[in-house]
A and B are shown apart, each in its own frame.
Chain A
């Protein structure tokens, strides 16, 4: 496998930290401790990546492979991602506490501009057996899949090679008018993507 460059790591921090915020809000909406725990795990991963990027960019500067400015940019972007990841963990922390969630939390998440939704894939659904890359749900329905549950296995931030199977539970984020479309597709009420 090709070694990850510093830029790849920064990108991973950026994408993962944004995913974490979505997951953290989903954990509140569905009162789901498994998702909240995942946010915790991802935060540890980001901490490690952040440490790595700081060291590697400094080493690259020393070797003359990277300019000081470029290294600063990388570190600042990584730091922003790390702070966002921290914020996501604080949100998930509310779910993990042994206190019943205040109903307002759920209502606020539901009423915001971007909605979060959860739907189970019916065995007759057109989505079955296809990969996310082929379905292009993001550009066709506006809904981005942030997590999936396959039997007892969870998958967070699925990529284009991820296949949807009957019975999978999809967690998605997107505009209000895209939500219905995705649910109809999953329930086999429409075949039109």
Chain B
């Protein structure tokens, strides 16, 4: 009762999602090299599609939030790269070459917008059709849990060389309530983590055995 009264006085608390924060953050001019901006844009464009498909396949709003965040981030990067490119142009030849960079950046941004559209399919609640189609793709998205007896526990992804030994790329890690998106080689795996990965059936079988502790080493 008291709780309700308080809520009427102050209103409902709502944590602002990360993507919204990014959207409202003032665009400040930070000189970042064009190369760094473009590399980040390319990396996001590759990750975001996998994340978007994972969100709809696993019916997961939190992954969808990350997709929205990356989409907003991409808009900002695209804006920054335009400014940096314009400042770098001195001659007509410069401008022609830089136009090529901006076109690639624009394409990366377009891919991230597409990811935003894919996430909207969450509302359709039509997972059976989706799962069936995805189960036939060249590379699929899998969810795997790490068991206590696996040699992967407390090891770095880079040390385990998961991607080069199994071809499975880790898109995200879920640890209790926390998500680690696009984990890098320094990220440590823990018992009970859920991994969202992308790869082939054979790669999945090996990795699944390893993470269940049935296989001692990946090779």
CA A97 to CA B96, docked complex, whole Å:
10
Quick check: is A46 within 8 A (CB to CB) of the other chain?
no
Of A106-114, A119-127, A162-170, A183-191, the stretch lying at the interface with chain B is A106-114
CB within 8 Å of B: which A117-143 residues: 136, 138-143
Quick check: is A88 within 8 A (CB to CB) of the other chain?
yes
Interface range for B: 35 or more
Are B111 and A140 in contact, with the CB atoms below 8 A? no
Are B110 and A99 in contact, with the CB atoms below 8 A? no
Assuming the contacts A11-B137, A73-B126, A101-B97, asked whether A108 and B35 have C-beta atoms less than 8 A apart, the reply is yes
Assuming the contacts A83-B117, A86-B110, asked whether A91 and B103 have C-beta atoms less than 8 A apart, the reply is yes
- Bits for A67-82, please: 1 = Cβ < 8 Å to B, else 0: 0011011101101100
Are B46 and A138 in contact, with the CB atoms below 8 A? no
**At the interface, is chain B mostly helix, strand, loop or mixed?**
helix
**At the interface, is chain A mostly helix, strand, loop or mixed?**
helix
| Inter-chain contacts of B46 with A (CB < 8 A) | 21, 112-114
Partner of A109, one of B42, B97, B103: B42
Are A94 and B100 in contact, with the CB atoms below 8 A? yes
Assuming the contacts A28-B104, A70-B129, A73-B126, asked whether A84 and B164 have C-beta atoms less than 8 A apart, the reply is no
Are B100 and A11 in contact, with the CB atoms below 8 A? no
Quick check: is A148 within 8 A (CB to CB) of the other chain?
no
**Sample of 9 more A-B contacts, CB < 8 Å, known A8-B136, A84-B49, A138-B202:** A14-B137, A83-B113, A84-B111, A90-B103, A139-B168, A139-B206, A140-B165, A178-B163, A178-B164
Interface residues of B (CB under 8 A from A): 34-35, 38-39, 42-43, 45-47, 49, 96-101, 103-104, 106-108, 110-111, 113-114, 117-118, 120-121, 124, 126, 129-130, 132-133, 136-139, 161, 163-169, 182, 199-200, 202-203, 206
Can you offer 21 A-B residue contacts whose CB atoms are under 8 A? A7-B132, A11-B133, A11-B136, A11-B137, A18-B49, A24-B107, A87-B108, A90-B106, A90-B110, A91-B104, A94-B100, A101-B100, A104-B38, A113-B46, A113-B182, A139-B168, A139-B199, A140-B165, A143-B167, A174-B163, A177-B164
